[in-house]
Amino acid sequence: MARIKAGLEQRLFLGNLNARRDWGYAPEYVEAMWMMLQQEHPTDYVIGTGQTHSVNEFVESAFEHVGLEWQKYVEIDPRYYRPADVDTLLADPEKARRELGWTHSTGFFELIKLMVDAEIEALQASQKAFGRAEVS
């Protein structure tokens, strides 16, 4: 979206917009990993939010965050469908909550804003480094 917003790209090509994923914030997952390493005995934990959202919801929200209508820019390309893909990936983080006291705190829409803003900031930094106009 950042490249489209900056006028550097015209389209975003994606595959299955109906796929549902458990979207989480990486720094919180690293915190969970650290908590796992502090345990006296090793065991398996599943880390995630316990909630799913579709790729379509993600795209729609991300484009909305930058003030663009996603339907004008997103194009489905069958090359991006994954033959072995599953429709829904959903974590059950109950054991991590119970044994580690870990839970996610960054919600789906907040995560999208963080990701989009970071991408815009990175693009602006690269544009400045090469003496090009800023992304608005």
List, in order, residues 6 or more apart from 73 with CB less than 8 Å away: 1, 4, 10, 11, 12, 63
Q: Could you give the number of structural domains in the chain?
A: 1
pLDDT tens digits, 17-65: 999 999 999 999 999 999 999 999 999 999 999 999 999 999 999 999 9
Residue 6 in 3-state DSSP? coil
Query: In the chain, pLDDT over 70 holds for what percent of residues?
Result: 96
List, in order, residues 6 or more apart from 70 with CB less than 8 Å away: 59, 60, 62, 63, 64
pTM of the model: 0.87
In a domain, 135, yes or no: no
In a domain, 26, yes or no: yes
In a domain, 13, yes or no: yes
Which CATH number fits the domain that encloses residue 123?
3.90.25.10
In a domain, 134, yes or no: no
State which residues form the domain around 76. Answer: 2-129
